[in-house]
Every structure is written in structure tokens, then in C-alpha cells.
Amino acid sequence: MAVSNQQNGSAEAPIDLANPTVVGINFGNSYASISVLNKQGNPDCIANEDGERQIACAVSFHGEEIYIGNQAKHQLVKNAQNTITGFRNLLGKKFSQIDTSKPTTSAPVIEHPEQPDTAAYKVQILQSAPLPLPASTTTTQQNTPLASRVATPRSEPTPATRILSVSEVTTIFIKSLLQSAEDFLGKKVQGAVITVPAWFTSEQKKALEDAATEAGVSVLQLLEEAGAAAVAVLSNPTAPASTTTSLSGDRTQLVVDLGSSALALSLLSIRQGLIHSLATLSDHTLGGDAIDSKLIKFFAKEFTKKTKIPLTVAPAPADSKQDQRAEAKLRLAVEHTKRTVSASSGAATCSVESLKDGIDYTGSINRMRFDMEVRNVYAGVGEQVKTLVSSAGLDLFDVDEIVYVGGSASLPGLDEHLAGIGFREDIVTPFSSGSVVGGGVGDPTTLLSRGAVVQAKLLAGLGESSEEEKEVKAAFHEKLENWTGVKVTSKSIGLVFPETSAEGQEENALGGQWIPLVLRETVLPCRRTVRFGVEVGEEGKVGFELWQVDESIKITLEKPPKFEPEDGEPEEEDEEEEEDIEVKDRIISKDELLGAALLESKKARNKKTTLEVQILIAEDGKVDVSASEVGGEKVTLAVPPIGA
Amino acid sequence: MAHIVELSVVPPPLRSDWTPPQSTGKSIAPLVERRLIPAGSAYLAHVKRAVHNLSFEEHDKHAEEERKRLEALYGNGTNGEDDLGVGDEEETEDLLSLDPKEWKKQDHYAVLGLSHLRYRATDEQIKIAHRKKVLKHHPDKKAGVAGETNDDAFFKCIQKAMEVLTNSERRRQFDSVDPHYESLEDEVPTEKEVKSAKDPNSYFFKSFGPVFEREARFSKKQPVPLLGEYNDGKEQVEGFYDFWYNFDSWRSFEYLDKEVNEGSDSRDDKRYTEKKNKSERARRKKEDTARVRQLVDLTLGLDPRIKRIKQEEKEAREAKKKGKTGGANGVSAKQKAEEEKKKAEEEAKKKEEEEKVARAEAKKAKAAAANAAKKARRAARADGADA
Ligand SMILES: Nc1ncnc2c1ncn2[C@@H]1O[C@H](COP(=O)(O)OP(=O)(O)OP(=O)(O)O)[C@@H](O)[C@H]1O
Ligand SMILES: [Mg+2]
């Protein structure tokens, strides 16, 4: 098969565009995941050979063995000094830029003895003595010792020290991800899109790209995490159309990424597939680790209650090796507890063999208790969400959709909490649309890698045969200023169809039916075409005005509906404490009249006709609108460019 | 094409006193600078338009042309990858409920859907078969499917089979004891069967031919002379028996070794098992060599060609004798007639044989056609289920 013999990235042979052999990699600081394209060309997150879809970013050295992934994580209990974690966040940083003062629970970062100011790790390994025979004789696979090899006894492996730079560790790890993907696909991977946090600097990106290239991955793009999330959601054919904005595909999306060590928030404006960020924020005090600490404390207390053995954790006292080890064991164990809480509403258990003094421990926690224990984390996320949205000059009510990313965002308690902080009632979240459970399209733990592979598929199809094609391809790489810098509208523009207000009815602020055409935050140049039915008046005429509008959210306080206590006993104090409920409404008011047009209807039936309206706004702000009955004569109107 | 959004609002009739207001000449509000995230097909379209300096309409046209070009290049996105004849074997209940812990006992070829190829399967075919099975049985594909209890047992069997068949040494060991052929080994025709057959001659070739074809795979020397046919010359027949009496087989029996109990610390225990395994292998090998020898003995004993050759030689000797006594011009009329008669007989027989072969061929073709039809039906059913 010609393709599989091809070197990565040099694919001249026609790539199967419907299903190129590409992967999407979500490379977090604590977990990674891989997605590939299935037969239908849709993204699927795959499990590695250990059956894990969330693959721990950990590399552990134990004697002659190297463990990678979740197995390596388990080495943190007994072999912490030779177990490397947290390396992603150190990529591209100089040793002097890294804070090494904090105690670590894994192999400490040191300065590379040979490469100045390079961050590295030192691990103890067992080195097998070199074979007495030249290496060229070993032609068969290693897992079956050849008869001849058995006959030549090897000398015992000897202890040795190995220094690995952060980049080298990353390469080892990415290589194993690639291997898992290729084992699954049965083909060589032709290219990959890898996700990176929004705060990654260009040094960090470069270090990651180099490490990945070293691992044999042809990097198609390093994609910002929020972008990968949006692409995953947008590419989902079964997604519910945004129910509230009349222009489908246009929405304001909040991406909530709650990982292990941090919360990352992005508020995105999506306008017919074009994505730009309105505001971002990150908080390194919130995340799975913080949740773990709360849970560990909870279970340690329970353990002490049950056994009368004192146990202090999170943090464990520096002078108690026993408590430290107990904490490490609990940290591993609550991983399972958390996943159970996310997956089902029943109680979740936590079991640790020989937690302390040789005593085994099994405890359990139910959903309610869990949410109570970690409510500070939920509340912290809620507060940051409010901060983010108001920093963009918007109200929570303006958000159309929430997308969850990151393992800790799988917790339904978080979504429940956010639902109560002031979003619209009909806001779309993966929990409200039921797409989280059972590895659905909204699954926060797989979303990033799925988005990445969708993007990889797009990039795999790009040619490089002309200067223009090369330029198009380059627009997905670093130094994108050429094409990512854009201008957007600051106010929404649409049509008003003047109507006679019905008697007794409050005068509509716009004086007619409002049909938005181009929402604020739309990238220019833009084109929108809409089609809709119109009732035709007595004279067979259809007329409209083109308006630019202001939008705001009006908040009115309403008394909550009173619940009369059944038995007539008035509940005291409580009653006056009852807070008013905020009721929000979107207010649209006229800002600027941009033009108007009148059309003679020639095709009306039963006093109704269908109108097609197209609006074009050029980069300089020039607006052209044309309207016609479908297949009929056009009327046009134009608005001069800004500053003309 | 421009994307047209259908709206469900229906504006009411125009206010009767409305006239279009005078244009104010105003422009839209000042623009704001933003940075796009370089992701998604809309961004690609945005860049293409900008790089090629196209209007929306020109871009529409471009996109349409590109779509047509790709369709012509790749067909409708379907690419018929050649599976090198691996095909899709039916998976029986028994097969799917194999226990990976008992992997040594499984038929690795059947697990990968290669029962029809076995030792003949090339490395490439094995790879393709494996990929097909993985795509079908990867635990990932099953998770969440109703009724499937996230059971990856068969997947593990697949991985084991792959492990064995892609390692040439381990594959050789397995091929040595391929359960499919083990069961056939007992089906060697007996002397009685041959002798009591309606046409012992043709029965002999029909029944022993495949046996030797089968056994030939074990030969270190390739190609291997096969049984051949009735009219083979003396040299050929002798060559055949010569080869098979000196049959040099790579067959060995490590695969049937008892597991060395790694758990036990007792070195004696380990050594004992190893010793026992070694002697078992040797015993089996000896038995196998004897088996092949017996087979060749039996075949030689029943081979109608031996009689024929002996007869021919005798006749040749007699002819020679007669020639010596009867002068240089040699062959008597009677002898000539006899020879002619024999020739005719042989011709008739040959014709009959040929017809038989043709019939068999026709039957085979028919079976193949039926098989293909079955496959197509199965595929159609699978498609239907997908839809
Ligand atoms: N189903 C689940 N329910 C609750 N928590 C989970 C679940 N799955 C994973 N987690 C937690 O999510 C965290 C890992 O999330 P993620 O993979 O997004 O982190 P990351 O991207 O590697 O880290 P970071 O973004 O902080 O650098 C861990 O704390 C893990 O325990
Ligand atoms: Mg993350």
C-alpha cells in the first residue's frame, strides 16, 4: 500500500479526502486524548491499548520498564521520584523561569547538567548490559526471544541515571500517543492537529511543535483549545439549531474548560462559522485538583471517624511519610469516585487498600454530599463566568450556548449551579440537550480532540501547488496576523416592516416587525441572505426600513409567586427575607435609519408573498441590500462606506 | 451557492400611511478590531476569499468548481480499497464467545477471518484482516451500544491472533499444529476404501492428491512434487517417491508446550516442566515423521502407476527380446493391434477424466457464484442496518 510507506507529511499520493489518516490530539497538562475519523468521516475519540480515553500525561521509569499514561500515574505512590508529570506546562520555559520552590509529588525539575538553563528530570533506571552480539543480528521481534538469544546469557542490568529534558519527555509521551493511534488505524498517521491553551506563548508552541516533530508527528496546526471546542460543536450535524437567534449559525458561545489545574473561560462570537473571542480568563485555583483536595479531606475524616486512626491530608504534614503516601493513594482513588459521580446519580465509592496502618478503607459519598463538599469550586466558576461576560460588555442573558470542556466540567453539579446564576432559561448546554452521557457529542472529556481531528481533516485537504494555495495553508500557522486580524460590526443591522399597531396594544419601540440581518460582532466583509413570507397590503405593496439598532437587557424585579403554607400557619421571619426575582428582557431600540425601500408585489397569492433579501457589507462598511419576491424584480438600496 | 436562511416570521401588511423616508446618508457605526481563531471551514473560506481576492459570488463559483474537480478525482468519496481477497467471513456465535484466556486453543486464522487462506495468507492479507476486525470489534466501537456489555473479550482474541500470526517464528509454531489441518490429518484414505471404489484408479488420485498438497506446506524444500496423474512417466513417479521418502519438514511442536509455572519459585519445578516439554516435542516430531512415512508407504502400495510402469517395462523387455529373435523390423502385427487398442482405451479414459474435471470446475464456479450472491446479500443487509 503506497500511502503507508510514505513518509509523514510528504504525502503526494492522493489523500482520501473523505477520510484522511489524520488525528486530533488534546494535550492537557494532566490528561491527553486522541481522536480519529470514523468510516463516515466523523470524529471519534479512541481508547489506547489500556482502554483509556483520558490518557494521563505521565511517564514513569521503573527498572528496565517505562510506563506511560495511567499506569505511570499509579507509580506515584511507590515510585514518585522516577515518575514525571506536569511536563506540558513547562515546555518552552527556561529552567530559571520555573518555580521549583514548591514541593512536588513527582520527579523534581532540575537544571540539565549539560544544557544550560534547560529544565530536565533525573530518574534512576536499570540499564540492560549491551548484547555481546552486534545489534544487527537482532532481526526478529523483541517479544519472542530467539533461540540464539536465550543461549547467550545477558549479564544483569545495572543501575544508571538518566537525564531527560522536558522536551524529551514530551517526545516520548507523544510518540506513545501516535503509536496508539496507528495501532487503532492500522495505518501511518499523516498529520495531526494538537490543541494548546490560549495562554501558550510562541516559545511554548515552538517547543511543543519541535517535540511532536521529533516524535514523528507531522503537525498540521497547533489549535487554541476554545477553537477546537467550537469546531467540534459546529461540526456536529445533530446539534440543535440555536433556538433563539433567528439567524442560525450565529451565536454567542461560552466555553467553560475546567481541567485539573485550572479554569479557562472563553466567550466566543460565532457568526456563520467564523469564530472570534470576545473575552478570555483563566483561574489557576479552580479545577479537578481543588475538587480532589476537598474529597480527600472528606474521606480522610471519614476514615479517622471509622478507625480512630488520625490522618491529615491536603496537605499532609511534611514529616509524615505515612500520611503523604495515604494522600497519594487517596488522590488516585478519588479519580474513580469523581467519574462515578458524573456518570450516575447514585452514591460513589472510594476504596484504598492499606490506607494507613495497614487498614483498608472503603467509603462512599452521594451526589448531594459531593456537590456540597465542592460547592466552593462551583461557586468560584460561577463568579468568574460573571466577571468574564461583563468584561465583554455583555449580560449572561446574551449568551446563547454553554460548551463544557475538561474532565471536571463533566460534573452535572457544575451545570446545575451555572443554570442558576442568570443565564437565559432556554440556554443550550450539553446537559440540557442530553449530549453528555454515554460519550455523546457534548462529552467534555473528548470534545477537544474531536474538534482537533475535524480541523485536521480540513487541513489535510489543502494543496500547495500554487503561491496562493501555500498562502492559504500558511494562514493556519503561526504569524497569522495577515488573515486573523479582522474588523467586525459593533451594532446589529436589520429590517423593520412598519405596521399599524393594533388597538390597545402598546406601541412597539421599533414601530413594526424586526428582522435582524447582520448581528453585532459580525466579521466584515459579510453576506447574508434570508427568505421569509410577507403579508401584502391593500395596494399590493411591500415596504421596509433598514435600521441599525441598540440592544440591551432590561432587568425588572418581580415578587416571587407566593406559596401559601397549606396549614395556614404563617412561616415567620423567612417571608420578608424572600428576594425579588430578576426578570430579564432583551430590548431593541432604534439607533440609526440607514435606508428604506418599496416593492410592488406581482406574485402575491392570498395576499401573501415570499421575499428574499440579501445584504452585503464590505470591509469599509459599505452596505448593499437587494430585495425581491422570489424570482421577481429587485429593489436595491445602498449605504455609503464609513468616513465617506 | 449563497447560504439562504429561511425565517419563520411573517411581517404583517404594510402600514397604509407609510412612505419610504428620505435617505439620511448615514453610515454604519464604527467597526471594532477582532482576532479570528483560525479554525473551521468558514475560516478557510474567509482566507481563500481574501488570498484570491474574490467577491462572495466569485468564491461561490470557485468552490463549486473545486467540488466538481474533487468528485471527478475521488469519485463520490467512496474509495474501494483492495482487500487482497481477504473478504468477510461469517462470525459464528462460538467464535465470538471465545475466551481470550484460552488463546492458545483458539484458531487464530478463524479469529481474523482468514480460514479460507490459513498458511497461504500473506503478511499484507493478515494486516488487512486485522484492521477489518479491529474496526469492527474495538471495545470503543461497542461501548454504549445497547446490549453490549462493553465486552472486549473477542477484541483481545483478535489481538492475540495478530500477535501470533505476525511473528514468523510463532506463526510457524502455530501453523505446525493448525487445528483445521489436524482434524483433516485423520482423513487419509484407507487401503480398503481405494480398493472397493468403483473406479479405484481415479479414486486414488482424487483422494490422495489433496493429502499431499496439504502435507507439502511443511516441506523446507519448495516447490514440492505433488502426486500427479496416472500417465506420469517413470522418472516423475520415482522423483515423487524419492522426495517424500526423504521429506524434510519444518513442523515442530513447541506450541503444545505446557506452561512453565512462572509463579512457582521452585527451580526444579521449572526445570522439570521444561525437560518434559522438550521430550514431548521430540516424541511428537518422531510420531509425525513416522506418520508421513506411513502415508507414503500406503500411497506407494496403492499407486496404480507402479503396476502400469512395471507392465510397460515388462512389455518393453519382451519387445526387445522379440525384436532380437524376430528380426530388425520388429513388432508383430498382434502386438501392434494390442498397442493400438490400449491407446484407444487410454484416450477414452483421458477424455472421461477431462470431462470430470470440467464438471468439477463448473460445480466450483456455481458454488462461487452462490457464495458471492450470499455475500452481496449480507452486505446489503449490513448496509440496511447502518442506514
Ligand atoms: N468524568 C469525570 N468527572 C469528574 N471529573 C473528571 C472526570 N474525568 C476527569 N475528571 C477530572 O478532570 C481533570 C482532568 O481534566 P482535563 O483532562 O481537562 O485536564 P487537563 O486539560 O489535562 O489539565 P489542565 O487544563 O488543568 O492543564 C482531572 O482532575 C480529573 O480527575
Ligand atoms: Mg485542559
What is the 3-class SS of chain B, one letter each residue?
A: CCCEEECCCCCCCCCCCCCCCCCCCCCCCCCEEEEECCCCHHHHHHHHHHHCCCCHHHHHHHHHHHHHHHHHHHCCCCCCCCCCCCCCCCCCHHHHCCCHHHHHHCCHHHHCCCCCCHHHCCHHHHHHHHHHHHHHHCHHHHCCCCCCCCCCHHHHHHHHHHHHHCCHHHHHHHHHCCHHHHHHHCCCCCHHHHHHCCCHHHHHHHHHHHHHHHHHHHECCCCCCCCCCCCCCHHHHHHHHHHHHCCCECCCCHHHCCCCCCCCCCHHHHHHHHHHHHHHHHHHHHHHHHHHHHHHHHHHHHCHHHHHHHHHHHHHHHHHHHHHHHCCCCCCHHHHHHHHHHHHHHHHHHHHHHHHHHHHHHHHHHHHHHHHHHHHHHHHHHHHHHC
* Residues of chain B contacting A273 with CB distance shorter than 8 Å: 40-43, 45
Is the CB of B32 less than 8 angstroms away from the CB of A488?
yes
Helix axes A412-419, A375-391, angle to 10 degrees: 50
Q: Which pLDDT does position B385 carry in this prediction?
A: 46
pLDDT in tens, A371-427: 999 999 999 999 999 999 999 999 999 999 999 999 999 999 999 999 999 998 888
Q: Which pLDDT does position A2 carry in this prediction?
A: 35
Is the CB of B5 less than 8 angstroms away from the CB of A480?
no
User: Closest chain B residue to A550 measured between Cα atoms?
Assistant: B29
* Residues of chain A contacting B56 with CB distance shorter than 8 Å: 525, 527, 616
The atom of ligand 1 lying closest to the CA of A406 is 18
B249 and B284 together in one domain: yes
- Residue A131's pLDDT band, with cuts at 50, 70 and 90, is low
The beta-carbon neighbor of B14 closest among A275, A537, A642 is A537
Average pLDDT, chain A: 86
Does residue A446 have its Cβ closer than 6 Å to ligand 1? no
- The cell for A92 is 518552552
What is the torsional sign of CA A75, A76, A80, A85?
Answer: positive
Distance, in Å, from the CA atom of B95 to the CA atom of B294, rounded to the nearest integer, reads: 35
Does residue B102 lie within any of the structural domains?
A: yes
Is the CB of A529 less than 8 angstroms away from the CB of B168?
no
Residue that has been written with the C-alpha cell 473479550 in this structure:
B153
The beta-carbon neighbor of A532 closest among B7, B38, B51 is B7
Q: Which pLDDT does position A28 carry in this prediction?
A: 95
Does residue B21 lie within any of the structural domains?
A: no
Question: Please, which residues have CB within 8 angstroms of residue A68's CB and are 6 or more apart in sequence?
Answer: A58, A59, A60, A172, A173, A176
Is the CB of B38 less than 8 angstroms away from the CB of A221?
yes
β A401-405/A250-258 pair status:
parallel
Residue that has been written with the C-alpha cell 440609526 in this structure:
A592
Q: Which pLDDT does position B149 carry in this prediction?
A: 47
* A385, A418 Cβ separation under 8 angstroms: yes
Determine the distance separating the centroid of ligand 1 and the alpha carbon of A458, expressed in angstroms. 28
Residue type, B385: A
β A219-224/A22-27 pair status:
unpaired
Distance of CA A475 to the CA centre of its chain: 22
- Under DSSP, is residue A299 helix (H, G, I), strand (E, B) or coil? helix
Does residue A29 have its Cβ closer than 6 Å to ligand 1? yes
Distance of CA B193 to the CA centre of its chain: 32
Mutate to test the pocket of ligand 1, among A286, A445, A446, A450 (most ligand atoms within 8 A of CB): A445
Does residue B57 lie within any of the structural domains?
A: yes
Listed residues B294, B310, B326: the one ending a domain: B310
Instruction: State the distance between the two ends of chain B, measured CA to CA, in whole angstroms.
Output: 28
Distance, in Å, from the CA atom of A277 to the CA atom of A252, rounded to the nearest integer, reads: 10
pLDDT in tens, A410-425: 999 999 999 999 998 8
What CATH number is associated with residue B150? 1.10.287.110
B196 and B299 together in one domain: yes
Does residue A445 have its Cβ closer than 6 Å to ligand 1? yes
| pLDDT (mean) for A611-633 | 93
Does residue B356 lie within any of the structural domains?
A: no
B111 and B207 together in one domain: no
User: Closest chain A residue to B132 measured between Cα atoms?
Assistant: A186
Nearest to A314 by CA among A302, A300, A332: A300
Cα dist. A166→A84, A98, B161 in Å? 9, 12, 38
The atom of ligand 1 lying closest to the CA of A334 is 31
| pLDDT (mean) for A578-604 | 88
Q: Name the residue at shortest CA distance from atom 27 of ligand 1.
A: A29
Domain carrying residue B149: 93-173
Give me the DSSP letters along A347-374: -EEEEEEEEETTEEEEEEE-HHHHHHHT
B57 and B97 together in one domain: no
Residue A301 has pLDDT above 80, yes or no: yes
Q: Name the residue at shortest CA distance from atom 3 of ligand 1.
A: A339
- The cell for A191 is 498529520
The number of the ligand nearest the C-alpha atom of A331 reads 1
B196 and B305 together in one domain: yes
Helix axes B234-245, B267-302, angle to 10 degrees: 160
Distance of CA A539 to the CA centre of its chain: 55
How high is the ipTM of this complex?
A: 0.88
Is the CB of A535 less than 8 angstroms away from the CB of B12?
yes
Q: How far is A43 from chain B (nearest CA, A)?
A: 12
Select from B4, B18, B171 the residue whose CB has the most chain A CBs within 10 Å, as the one to mutate to test that interface: B18
Q: Name the residue at shortest CA distance from atom 17 of ligand 1.
A: A31
Listed residues B310, B331, B364: the one ending a domain: B310
B263 and B300 together in one domain: yes
Distance, in Å, from the CA atom of B205 to the CA atom of B191, rounded to the nearest integer, reads: 13
B52 and B103 together in one domain: no
B169 and B224 together in one domain: no
Does residue B22 lie within any of the structural domains?
A: no
β B4-6/A526-535 pair status:
parallel
Q: Is B281 exposed, middle or buried (0-12, 13-18, 19+ CB in 10 A)?
A: middle
β A608-617/A623-629 pair status:
antiparallel
What is the torsional sign of CA B23, B24, B29, B30?
Answer: positive
Nearest to A260 by CA among A30, A27, A25: A30
Determine the distance separating the centroid of ligand 2 and the alpha carbon of A287, expressed in angstroms. 10
* A257, A227 Cβ separation under 8 angstroms: no
B129 and B198 together in one domain: no
Listed residues B310, B337, B372: the one ending a domain: B310
Is the CB of B20 less than 8 angstroms away from the CB of A531?
no
Does residue B334 lie within any of the structural domains?
A: no
B232 and B264 together in one domain: yes
User: Closest chain A residue to B15 measured between Cα atoms?
Assistant: A499
Determine the distance separating the centroid of ligand 1 and the alpha carbon of B173, expressed in angstroms. 46
Q: What percent of chain A lies above the pLDDT cut of 90?
A: 63
Determine the distance separating the centroid of ligand 2 and the alpha carbon of A510, expressed in angstroms. 45
Q: Name the residue at shortest CA distance from atom 28 of ligand 1.
A: A260
Residue A478 has pLDDT above 50, yes or no: yes
Does residue A86 have its Cβ closer than 6 Å to ligand 1? no
Distance, in Å, from the CA atom of B318 to the CA atom of B282, rounded to the nearest integer, reads: 50
- Under DSSP, is residue A6 helix (H, G, I), strand (E, B) or coil? coil
* Residues of chain B contacting A515 with CB distance shorter than 8 Å: 7, 9, 11
Q: Is B183 exposed, middle or buried (0-12, 13-18, 19+ CB in 10 A)?
A: exposed
Distance of CA A71 to the CA centre of its chain: 25
Question: Domain count of chain B?
Answer: 3
Give me the DSSP letters along A157-199: PEEEEEEEEHHHHHHHHHHHHHHHHHHHHSS---EEEEEE-TT
Is the CB of B140 less than 8 angstroms away from the CB of A642?
no
The atom of ligand 1 lying closest to the CA of A405 is 18
| Regions of chain B short of the pLDDT cut 50 | 75-80, 144-150, 327-328, 330, 384-387
Nearest to A403 by CA among A499, A540, A270: A270
Is the CB of B131 less than 8 angstroms away from the CB of A186?
yes
pLDDT in tens, A168-196: 999 999 999 999 999 888 889 999 999 99
Q: Which pLDDT does position B386 carry in this prediction?
A: 45
pLDDT in tens, B16-27: 888 888 878 899
Distance, in Å, from the CA atom of B154 to the CA atom of B134, rounded to the nearest integer, reads: 10
Longest dimension (CA), chain B: 140
B110 and B69 together in one domain: no
A393: DSSP letter: T
Does residue B82 lie within any of the structural domains?
A: no
Does residue A259 have its Cβ closer than 6 Å to ligand 1? yes
A637 forms bridges with which residues in the sheet?
A625
pLDDT in tens, A92-128: 999 999 998 887 889 999 999 999 999 999 999 998 7
Count Cα neighbours of A288 within 13 Å in the Cβ-side half-sphere: 26
Q: Which pLDDT does position B94 carry in this prediction?
A: 85
pLDDT in tens, A8-34: 333 333 445 556 899 999 999 999 999
Does residue B207 lie within any of the structural domains?
A: yes
Is the CB of B43 less than 8 angstroms away from the CB of A274?
yes
Helices and strands, counts by H and E, chain A: 15, 28
Q: Which pLDDT does position A464 carry in this prediction?
A: 84
B115 and B199 together in one domain: no
